[in-house]
């Protein structure tokens, strides 16, 4: 094997916490398939993981499309798309997309997005497309650029937004559809407690991203292993546990919709 491949490849995710276990499995799988030594980094806060990726101390990062386009457009750190997951389920239709599911309590009076005027809203964090950018984009398309919600709070994570909703601390939130589906699969009783009143999207799904200054042979090898993952029994088992069908090839242009949505979202008065 090329000597360029003989080093420890550090992999992380800044996705929701309930995606970390499958990311760890994929990291180990990539090591087994390529012969590289891989290490999954998740023992530090996600903000520190992103900082280490930006500094070149972590090589591969499964990240939201919004920070990806910001890094790509800034040119620092240098980044390159590897692949993106295609989720199982009819709503995904074999595409590398996801949605922002607007959820409230099943017992609430809210039935439509417009019913949320004056309500208490929560978003996970400002660099999230599904929890923050997408909602602000949607408000802009409605001509609602200031004061639609009565109060807006930052939770720090999709799963925290869900917990706050169940604790009746907030009225509604937009949750990454893959995060919500994982939570519902793990806790089926939540289906009776939550109501989805709107679906925003689809949007390009969070991609797997490499530092562009990784050796080209490493980037190529990892990309090919991801794209072929559904062709091996071990790979299919991991994908199934992650509610994924396969990985798809993606290009920077595939994330242009997020760029365009961010431009319009920025016309809405800041929440933070």
How far is the C-alpha of 191 from the C-alpha of 211, rounded, in Å? 39
27: Cβ–Cβ under 8 A, 6 or more apart, which residues?
11, 38, 39, 40
d(CA 159, CA 20): 13
Return the pLDDT at 125: 95
Residue 65 has a pLDDT of: 98
Q: Identify the CA nearest to 3 among candidates 225, 215, 264, 263.
A: 215
Helix (H, G, I), strand (E, B) or coil at 217: helix
For the purposes of burial, counting CB atoms within 10 Å of the CB of 103, is it exposed (0-12), middle (13-18) or buried (19 or more)? Answer: buried
Q: Using CA atoms, how far apart are residues 101 and 199, in angstroms rounded to an integer?
A: 5
Q: Is 198 exposed, middle or buried (0-12, 13-18, 19+ CB in 10 A)?
A: buried
pLDDT at 206: 99
Q: Identify the CA nearest to 97 among candidates 183, 171, 2, 207.
A: 207
- pLDDT value for 5: 54
Q: Which residue has the tokens 């003989």?
A: 6
Q: Which domains does the chain have, with CATH numbers?
A: 3-88+205-259 (3.40.190.10), 97-203 (3.40.190.10)
- Is-above-0.75 flag for pTM? yes
Phi, psi of 129 (to 5 degrees): -75, -50
Match 């799988």 to its residue by tokens.
29
Cβ proximity of 131 and 161 under 8 Å: yes
Mean pLDDT by 10 residues, the chain (272 residues): 67 96 98 97 96 98 98 95 98 98 98 98 97 98 96 97 98 98 96 98 99 96 98 98 98 99 96 74
């Amino acid at each position: 094997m090329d000597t360029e491949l003989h080093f420890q490849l550090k992999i992380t995710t800044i996705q929701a916490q309930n995606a970390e276990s499958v990311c760890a499995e994929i990291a180990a799988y990539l090591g087994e398939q390529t012969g590289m030594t891989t290490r999954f980094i998740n023992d530090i806060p996600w903000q520190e993981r992103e900082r280490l990726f930006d500094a070149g101390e972590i090589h591969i990062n499964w990240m939201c499309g919004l920070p990806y386009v910001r890094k790509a457009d800034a040119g620092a750190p240098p980044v390159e798309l590897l692949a993106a997951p295609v989720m199982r389920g009819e709503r995904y239709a074999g595409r590398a997309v996801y949605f922002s599911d607007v959820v409230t309590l099943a017992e609430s009076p809210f039935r439509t997005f417009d019913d949320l005027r004056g309500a208490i809203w929560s978003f996970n964090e400002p660099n999230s497309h599904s929890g923050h950018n997408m909602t602000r984009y949607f408000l802009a398309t409605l001509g609602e650029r200031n004061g639609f919600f009565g109060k807006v709070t930052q939770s720090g994570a999709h799963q925290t937004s869900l917990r706050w909703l169940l604790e009746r601390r907030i009225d509604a939130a937009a949750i990454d559809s893959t995060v919500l589906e994982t939570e519902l699969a793990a806790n089926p009783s939540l289906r009776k407690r939550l109501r989805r009143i709107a679906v925003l999207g689809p949007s390009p799904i969070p991609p797997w991203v490499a530092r562009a200054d990784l050796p080209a042979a490493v980037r190529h090898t990892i990309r090919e292993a991801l794209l072929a993952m559904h062709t091996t029994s071990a790979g299919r088992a991991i994908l199934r546990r992650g509610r994924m069908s396969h990985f798809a090839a993606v290009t920077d242009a595939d994330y242009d919709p997020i760029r365009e949505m961010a431009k319009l979202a920025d016309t809405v008065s800041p929440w933070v």
